[in-house]
Amino acid sequence: MTQDDTTNRDTQPDLGRRKFLNSAALVGLSGAGLSVGLSACNKESAPGAKAPSAKGEVATHSPYEVPPGQLDEYYSFSSGGHSGDVRIYGLPSGRQLKSIPVFNTDNLVGWGITNESKAIIGTRPDGSLKYSTGDTHHVHQTYTDGTYDGKYFFVNDKIHGRLARVRMDTMECDKITELPNIQGFHGTFTDKRDPVDPKINHTTRVFCGAEFSIPLPNDGRDMEDGSKYKSLFSCVDSESMEVRWQVLIDGNCDLVASSYDGKLAATNQYNTEMGVHYEDTMSSEMDACLFFNVARIEEAVKAGKVTTIGSSKVPVVDGTRASNKDPKAALTCYVPIPKNPHGVNITPDGKYYACSGKLSPTASVIEHALVLKWFDGGLANARDAVVAEPEIGLGPLHTGFDNKGNAYTTLFLDSQIVKWNVEAAIKAFKGDKTAKAVVDRIDVHYQPGHGFTSMGETREADGRFFNSDNKFSKDRFLPVGPLHCETAQLIDISGDKMKLVHDHSVLSEPHDSIIVRRDIIKTRQIYDMDEFPNAVKDPAESGVFRNGKKVTVKLTSQAPAFSLREFKLKKGDEVTLILTNHDKVEDLTHGFAMPKYDINFIVNPQETKSVTFIADKPGVYWCYCTHFCHALHLEMRSRMIVEA
């Protein structure tokens, strides 16, 4: 292993590796490690052999295959749904690279077990987790100039109404905020361009929609009066992770989109009826896409035209229909669209929002400039902001875009992806009989929910791939019992016709992803010990430090040993154990498992973690390294002795 303390990866990592392997082969280096590496890379290229012929490459690999030893071109960040985590895949291979625990607890990392992770998730007065479940739906990154900057991504928890931030240099969650007075936090989107603070240099607003309406405050009042149920649209500050403001609205929020100029945020509403029972939510032919005028909302907040709800201090402005009849002063604009829409996505040129009908076979195209015109008083009827409404198929849900003006919408009921051209749809809507919106269709297997294109939520949409996350896999994989895995299907959208590339399995149950070019992601390979205020910086500091019943155990790890061969505690001690990993080698992680004390976590190179427990069971406990780190990994242990 080589030491690698780089904070930035080469943007073309596999080129660097290939160069290394090729030059190594040229100088005829051998040795077990190297020849294993080479033979894994390509069977034909044993050490000393010439590079494989182009013919051989074509024979073995499809243009989409990522051969052994090569790296993917894209990252896909995918919500795990009710598993509460976020997964990272490589595309086009579909290889799963990581699960990032967020709202769940995780044994491997120790998420929900270590003191540091518990502080992020939040605890009850007795030290137990406030929540140990979560339901992640939508993942969106911070933007600079309308494209991803690789700094943070955000993901929502629908169950408990929380927003989590994940820093993308370590791919770890560092903050979680619970939104007040909401339920069913579903859609979320980062602003793509807000007034840039030079110190922060990326978008600072995260918009959050509440899908379920509840009595406000929800403290036992108005429970039988559906007309009193309300929903809130919230804005969270991406740096402080505090809720900046909320907007009281009629109806509900579902998905959320943000504009490229920072002026509007949008949410589709399927329950403008404000129905409490599901048949009520379908009683009207029209629902709405609701637009928020961000600048006016923030002016109203500044001017103190706000209320608060219950014990929350978050300023709430009034975005209800009754209070926003005058477009020139309105904070919100309700654009009527057909029925129980799902999904709202903006085109990469920032001009149009596509909002699917779900119970109508249409997608509604809403022009950004016309919504702004409505807010200026120049458009009599908000419905006139709809510039196209093509019939695209049954059960349309989510839409992704390429860089050529085409939209790709998942059709849940038809089990298809439909490709349609936005400008053609607009022409057809204006009455041009020669204009045909729908360009192509492809079957997917089965019932697609989300679909998203490579870089498609940015100005840099590249029109390479569309990924269909299907809700049913049925017969596509080996059966594994009543719970099936889900299918993701990768589709090449670079040509006129969509081409299915492959299926890859995904563990239940992803909701949404973003596909990000790999050069945008700059991860660190090791931590900085100084970032951890409780780090045990010198192995010589190791030991048991007693303050009455409160005991601190300081410990370090360096392969293949912990700094303490043993440590002694007394029954009833309240112990905080701090472990700092002193290894500096990339990928050299140690684990720490404590039998019968239900403690298990890892420490990555130069990282510090701590756990707190009561030493209530006398005896000998071999605390051992769980993460294979060294030839003597199995020998890497420390003996915890708890005296009666």
Q: Which residues bind ligand RUQ (CB under 6 A)?
A: 137-138, 186, 342-343, 397-398, 449-450, 511-512
What is the smallest separation between the CB atom of 109 and ligand CUA, expressed in angstroms?
15
What is the smallest separation between the CB atom of 636 and ligand CUA, expressed in angstroms?
4
What is the smallest separation between the CB atom of 85 and ligand CUA, expressed in angstroms?
24
CA angle 335, 205, 508 (to 5 degrees): 80
What is the smallest separation between the CB atom of 623 and ligand CUA, expressed in angstroms?
11
Q: Which residue has the tokens 């195209």?
A: 365
390: left (phi over 0), alpha (psi -120 to 50) or beta: beta
Q: Which of residues 370 and 418 has its CB atom nearest to ligand RUQ in the complex? A: 418
Q: Which of residues 335 and 455 has its CB atom nearest to Ca ion in the complex? A: 335
Would you give the DSSP letter of residue 51? P
For residues 128 and 511, what is the distance between their CA atoms, to the nearest angstrom? 29
Pairing of strands 205-212, 183-190: antiparallel
Neighbours of 381 (CB within 10 A): 10
What is the smallest separation between the CB atom of 254 and ligand RUQ, expressed in angstroms?
7
Q: Which of residues 360 and 552 has its CB atom nearest to Ca ion in the complex? A: 360
- Scored b (16 or more CB within 10 A) or e, 108-126 reads ebbbbbbbbbbebbeeeee
- Structural element, H or E, at residue 257: strand 256-258
Task: Work out what residue 633 binds among ligand RUQ, ligand CUA, Ca ion, none; the CB cut-off runs from 5 to 8 Å by kind.
Answer: ligand CUA
In this chain, which residue has its C-beta nearest to ligand RUQ? 449
3-state secondary structure of 116: helix
Residue 228, φ and ψ in degrees, nearest 5: -90, -10
Q: Which of residues 142 and 281 has its CB atom nearest to Ca ion in the complex? A: 281
**In 3D, which of 368, 444, 370 has the Cα closest to residue 408?**
444
What is the smallest separation between the CB atom of 182 and ligand RUQ, expressed in angstroms?
15
Q: Which of residues 397 and 411 has its CB atom nearest to ligand RUQ in the complex? A: 397
What is the smallest separation between the CB atom of 630 and ligand CUA, expressed in angstroms?
6
Would you give the DSSP letter of residue 362? B
Task: Work out what residue 287 binds among Ca ion, ligand CUA, ligand RUQ, none; the CB cut-off runs from 5 to 8 Å by kind.
Answer: Ca ion
Q: Which of residues 335 and 577 has its CB atom nearest to ligand CUA in the complex? A: 577
Q: What DSSP line would sit under 341-360, residue for residue?
A: -EEEEE-TTSSEEEEE-SSS
What is the smallest separation between the CB atom of 629 and ligand CUA, expressed in angstroms?
3
Q: Which of residues 265 and 593 has its CB atom nearest to ligand CUA in the complex? A: 593
Task: Work out what residue 398 binds among Ca ion, ligand CUA, ligand RUQ, none; the CB cut-off runs from 5 to 8 Å by kind.
Answer: ligand RUQ
What is the smallest separation between the CB atom of 346 and ligand CUA, expressed in angstroms?
48
CA angle 105, 106, 112 (to 5 degrees): 45
Task: Work out what residue 629 binds among Ca ion, ligand CUA, ligand RUQ, none; the CB cut-off runs from 5 to 8 Å by kind.
Answer: ligand CUA
Q: Which of residues 470 and 542 has its CB atom nearest to ligand RUQ in the complex? A: 470
Task: Work out what residue 609 binds among Ca ion, ligand CUA, ligand RUQ, none; the CB cut-off runs from 5 to 8 Å by kind.
Answer: none
Residue 167 bridge partners (DSSP) = 152, 172
Q: Which of residues 364 and 542 has its CB atom nearest to ligand CUA in the complex? A: 542
Q: Which residue has the tokens 């048991």?
A: 544
What is the smallest separation between the CB atom of 625 and ligand RUQ, expressed in angstroms?
39
Measured between alpha carbons, how far is residue 438 from residues 362, 406, 466, 490, 592 in Å? Answer: 11, 9, 17, 20, 57
Residues in touch with Ca ion (CB under 5 A): 270, 281, 287, 340
By CB neighbour count within 10 A (0-12 exposed, 13-18 middle, 19+ buried), where does 480 fall?
exposed
Joined together, the tokens standing for residue 126 give 């007795």
Neighbours of 399 (CB within 10 A): 29
Q: Which of residues 90 and 449 has its CB atom nearest to ligand RUQ in the complex? A: 449
Q: Which of residues 165 and 590 has its CB atom nearest to ligand CUA in the complex? A: 590
Task: Work out what residue 625 binds among ligand CUA, ligand RUQ, Ca ion, none; the CB cut-off runs from 5 to 8 Å by kind.
Answer: ligand CUA
Residue 387 CA from chain centroid, whole number:
32
Q: Which of residues 89 and 233 has its CB atom nearest to Ca ion in the complex? A: 233
Residues in touch with ligand CUA (CB under 6 A): 559, 590, 625, 627-630, 633, 636
**In 3D, which of 1, 67, 82 has the Cα closest to residue 34?**
1
Q: Which residue has the tokens 């959208």?
A: 493
Task: Work out what residue 138 binds among Ca ion, ligand CUA, ligand RUQ, none; the CB cut-off runs from 5 to 8 Å by kind.
Answer: ligand RUQ
Joined together, the tokens standing for residue 144 give 């600079």
What is the smallest separation between the CB atom of 281 and Ca ion, expressed in angstroms?
5
Task: Work out what residue 627 binds among ligand CUA, Ca ion, ligand RUQ, none; the CB cut-off runs from 5 to 8 Å by kind.
Answer: ligand CUA
3-state secondary structure of 37: helix
Peptide bond connecting 143 to the previous residue in cis, omega within 30 degrees of 0: no
What is the smallest separation between the CB atom of 310 and ligand RUQ, expressed in angstroms?
27
3-state secondary structure of 497: coil
